[in-house]
Structure 1
Amino acid sequence: MHPTRREMLRLGLGSSALLACGPTVPLFLARSAHALADDRPDAKGRILVVVQLDGGNDGLNTVVPYRDDAYRQRRPKLAIPAGEVLKINDRVGLHPSLEPFAKLLEQEQLAIVQGVGYPNPNRSHFDSMAIWQTAKTKLDKAAPGWLARALDRQTGPDGDAAGLHIHEAFPLPGALSGGRQVVPSMARLEQFRRRLGMPQGAEAAAQIEALDRLARQERGTPGSPLQFVERCSLITYASSARLEQIQKDRPAAKADYPEFYGLAQRLQLIAQLIKAGLTTSIYYTHLDGFDTHSGQLSQHANLLGELGTSLRAFLNDLKTSGEAERVVVLVFSEFGRRLNENGSGGTDHGTAAPVFLLGQPVKAGLHGSPLDLTRLEDGDPIHSVDFRQIYATLLDRWLQIPHRDILGAGFELLPVLQGS
């Protein structure tokens, strides 16, 4: 007897979670998954895409205070010349590798929040990232992530995975961990296409036999190994079947993503999933390499080039497909870099840095106050915007979840979204 649609949705067996639970699916699961995929209506909802810059992005060479004497004096080798800066106003501008961001700013699709940080800053990669991911400035690495807490409170269409983590190497980020929702990780759509079809080889046959043997037993109780097997198998197959069918019915328009950038390929996958009609509301990915203690000039320029080019391609893809109005992108790093350059042509761990919000729903321009490089604490600029204000704004005004319930306190909202 096949699982009913109600039973499958009760188990969270939707059409998009893409868990890699094994390369094969028993026939009875395949039939049920096909039925669910065929019966699942598309549901258009708001989406948040998070891009985590790992290593500590040098905010001062990203949003450059090119007129500031202290900036040039403290960075005699690393300061970006004023003539190369992509000027936003008469005080600050973008790194020359962020020309795609400058174009997005002209198109009113880029909001720059200056001087973002938190009280009593922590310069440890792991500790500071845990603070950003849990939204708790008192370090608690065991706390559920802020997005995990948000997903647990979210109401909406049943079936699809509420969140997806997109990366081939990084583990599930703390922001999505610890909640009641299952948030799968995946790397490439091709992995799941290869899982479709009849299995081959003795090992695949043995796996099918084992799953069929389990399937003939009583349904698993919540949390049991049997329920886990049912859930993983159905999600994997239903997701693949649904995406394959959608691509047959509605071939994807060619999008201009640079093939040599890993971030671009991950964002292209996210765009495919969005255009496929999944009801997933949170997508999360990474760009690493920002721990620029030495040789920073070329390394940082290359990273910012990848970031800007990839995100512009992503937003152009969404605009072409008619999905742009329902997607906001958040770009953050665990901390900035110190004002002083070091002796190795780089910068060390700092504190405050800019955060970016991108997309048609944002209120474009500069937000917050420029960093005051004459007012330092332990050699670092002092933040003027608490990062939890950005989270609060996204929760209240984008995801429509009361931020006090998630963050545990009230924070002043920022005018970074249209209508705010």
Structure 2
Amino acid sequence: MATTRRTFLTNLGAAGIVSLGATPPWFLTRAALAAEKVEKPPAEKRILVLVQLAGGNDGLNTVIPYTDAEYQKARPGIGIGRDAVLKIGDDLGLHPQMTGFKEIFDEGRLAVIQGVGYPNPNRSHFRSTDIWHSARPDVEYTEDGWLGRSLDLHAKRHAGKTPALALGTNRLPLALVCSKLSVPTVQNVNEFQLQLGAGSAANKKLRRKLIGDLANRQSATESDLDFLRKTTQTALSTARKLEKVTATYKPAAEYPTNGLGGKLKTVAQLIAGDFGTNIFFVSLGGFDTHSQQAGAHQGLLSELSSAIRAFYLDLKEHKLQDQVLLATYSEFGRRVKENGSLGTDHGAASQMFVVTPGDKGGLIGKHPSLTDLSQGDLKYHTDFRSVYATILDKWLDISSQSVLGHEFPGVDIV
């Protein structure tokens, strides 16, 4: 089988070559919060942080329709009691472990986009993840991702820079795969440095120079070797900048000692250090809760909520919160009815959370009906590409039609 550029990039990563006061009550409306207008920063200062909830998050136990009798009927074993939820509306509440999200929601900064999905949903983890990452549900095999295509549109502008970064992984997610640029993956910032081997300082300096010369050597033709040189050049540049930025940063919030907390702390560190990256990708796994869901899901939502709360507070203390839009997504939701193992199986529609860079927090769209279902699944009413289109057009200042291939209605998050 021929090696594609996507395979080449992901294998490079796997091999370690590129791995280098009082809050307002919840019932305040979005209109009331909109009185405090927040001006958007210049386009080059706007940052997108994408948080993947890998495995298929159970949206129905995340944003809970606690007044709906159908909810308790469908989930007698794993349902969340109406007195336990963190109310964000007259009939909706967050999971009780999501106190951090509740705080951000009460500040008017957390948008909850309900009923998100796409036509003819696929229940395969791999295929559905590819659909979300490529934003091309009708194309089975694709060589690039939606953010990768957005980077390719302005490839010359990004030359010699690190416009995007995937943290906590050695494998480049499809969402960031480009055809004209190389996006570094960083498993651990402390380990992302040039390994020069043993020897004197002079020998190490010479080795660094030789590697740099190789990476900077130009070729008249576009070959795989030339592509490797460009990839190495990006990795070297990223490593040097990381060394400088990480030496001076002090977090202004206490991050939880979990995986996502560490990743978002690093993202905040790079933002505060003016690292020059506009797109960050991080992931939290474990959401494929087929059995004994309650405890595992509770822990995951606690990790998600506490880590993003710390990230938001850190940015706020550094007066950077208006420069950053953070969005969560998962490849699909879960079925409405619990299964015989006190878990849930692969479903369809769910919600997206967006920590907005302004005053656009609140509930967006209606919660899907628990009786009007599609083969036991919640029906979507907001195409996830509408959220992407809004991020591209109104936040990243990139034509969504050029990236997505079609025009999609926007969502009020920016």
Normalised-by-shorter TM-score class: 0.7 to 0.9
Pair 1:368 & 2:365 matched: yes
1:113-157 CA distances to partner (integer Å, 9 max, x unpaired)?
A: 001011111111111111111111214232421111111123756
The letter of the residue matching 2:67 is R
Task: Give SS of 1:351's match.
Answer: coil
Aligned to 1:271: 268
1:202-234 CA distances to partner (integer Å, 9 max, x unpaired)?
A: 9x98x9499479859974345446645654554
The letter of the residue matching 2:112 is I
Identity %: 39
Report matched runs for 1:312-331 at 5 Å.
Answer: 312-331=309-328
Q: 1:407 to 1:68 in 2, by over 3 A?
A: same
TM-score of the pair, normalised by structure 2: 0.83
Aligned to 1:31: none
Aligned to 1:7: none
Q: 1:240 to 1:122 in 2, by over 3 A?
A: closer
The Cα shift of 1:370 comes to 1.1
Aligned to 1:340: 337
Q: 1:308 to 1:23 in 2, by over 3 A?
A: closer
Q: Distance in 2 between matches of 1:125 and 1:114?
A: 21
Task: Give SS of 1:113's match.
Answer: strand
The Cα shift of 1:253 comes to 4.1
Aligned to 1:110: 110
Report matched runs for 1:20-419 at 5 Å.
Answer: 21=17, 45-154=45-154, 156=157, 158-168=159-169, 171-193=171-193, 195=194, 199-200=197-198, 208=207, 211=210, 215=214, 219-221=218-220, 223-224=222-223, 227=226, 230-246=229-245, 250-259=248-257, 261-361=258-358, 363-417=360-414
Gaps of 5+ in 2: 1-12, 21-42
TM-score of the pair, normalised by structure 1: 0.82
Gaps of 5+ in 1: 1-16, 25-42
Q: Distance in 1 between matches of 2:296 and 2:114?
A: 23
Based on CA coordinates, which of the two structures has the bigger radius of gyration? 1
Task: Give SS of 1:271's match.
Answer: helix
Q: 1:118 to 1:231 in 2, by over 3 A?
A: closer
Task: Give SS of 2:369's match.
Answer: coil
Q: Distance in 1 between matches of 2:268 and 2:173?
A: 20
Q: Is the 8 A contact 2:338 2:344 kept in 1?
A: yes
1:167-187 CA distances to partner (integer Å, 9 max, x unpaired)?
A: 235x21111124322111002
Q: Distance in 2 between matches of 1:183 and 1:22?
A: 8
Task: Give SS of 2:352's match.
Answer: strand
Give the count of matched residue pairs. Answer: 376
Q: Is the 8 A contact 2:215 2:232 kept in 1?
A: no
Q: Is the 8 A contact 2:252 2:318 kept in 1?
A: no
RMSD over aligned CA atoms reads 3.0
Q: Distance in 1 between matches of 2:277 and 2:18?
A: 22
